[in-house]
Amino acid sequence: MNLSHSSLHYYIMKHIVDEGRAPKITQLSGAFGVSTNVMVDALKSLQDYHGVVLHPVSSEVWVIHPFSTAPTNFWIESEKGSWWGNCAWCSLGAAALLDCDLTITTTLGGESRQIIIEIAGGQIKNQDIFIHFPIPMVKAWDNVTYTCSTMLMFESESDIDDWCERHGMDKGDVQPINNVWEFSKVWYGNHLNPEWVKWSVDEAKEIFERFKLVNPIWKMPSDGNRF
């Protein structure tokens, strides 16, 4: 199997979808017929490309958006299996990618009150939910795990205002869950494609604009880099 960003990303993503967990470095090395050192270098290159997040010590796969291999506040379950999503956005993206009836269990604002989001027939049953995006996208990859941890679900914008004051967090953009659901279908729609290529910044900006994500947190300067 030819080793590239696309093929490595696809192998990891397909394994997580099918097995609910990421393949280990040794398994990846065997699948691609390369040494573990070569595979670690390939994984680090994919990380630099923003295609994966690795454990800082072992270099094993930690995150491959929209999935996490470590416990998070977003638990996704279907008849096919179960997975962790990184955040509200990612969990909806995972649901779109899995393309089946499922539930997402989380807590409002990452606090004590649990809710279950039901998706059936491609439709979200819980329409009265809002998602908060507090971190500007231009800074998202400064610490993408932290960025994801702050993208949470709430029942109202006033709840978000109270939460921001309580936790000393700047308020960002607030979006109804259904808009994020439709946005996630496009954003993550290519992530299980063997020919996957990371969105460029300009492509990302076009998708943001398409879904009327116009709050300043979505603004990024045009350049030739990948998002």
pLDDT tens digits along 134-187: 999 999 999 999 999 999 999 999 999 999 999 999 999 999 999 999 999 999
CATH number at residue 178: 3.15.10
Whether 88 is covered by a domain: the verdict is no
Whether 115 is covered by a domain: the verdict is yes
Give the domain-ending residue among 13, 41, 64: 64
Q: What percent helix, strand, coil does the chain show, rounded to 5? A: 45, 20, 35
Give the domain-ending residue among 41, 64, 87: 64
Pairing of β 173-176 and β 130-133: antiparallel
Give the domain-ending residue among 64, 85, 108: 64
Same domain, 119 and 51: no
The number of folded domains in the chain is: 2
User: Which pLDDT score, from 0 to 100, does residue 222 have?
Assistant: 86
Residue 131 structural domain = 99-218
User: Which pLDDT score, from 0 to 100, does residue 124 have?
Assistant: 97
User: Which pLDDT score, from 0 to 100, does residue 114 have?
Assistant: 98
User: Which pLDDT score, from 0 to 100, does residue 223 have?
Assistant: 81
Helices of type H across 56-193: 88-98, 144-149, 157-167, 177-187
Residue pointed to by tokens 């490595």: 8
Same domain, 111 and 213: yes
Same domain, 129 and 57: no
Whether 51 is covered by a domain: the verdict is yes
Same domain, 104 and 192: yes
Tens digits of pLDDT across the chain (227 residues): 899 999 999 999 999 999 999 999 999 999 999 999 999 999 999 999 999 999 999 999 999 999 999 999 999 999 999 999 999 999 999 999 999 999 999 999 999 999 999 999 999 999 999 999 999 999 999 999 999 999 999 999 999 999 999 999 999 999 999 999 999 999 999 999 999 999 999 999 999 999 999 999 999 998 878 99
Please, are residues 173 and 208 in contact by the beta-carbon 8 Å criterion?
A: no
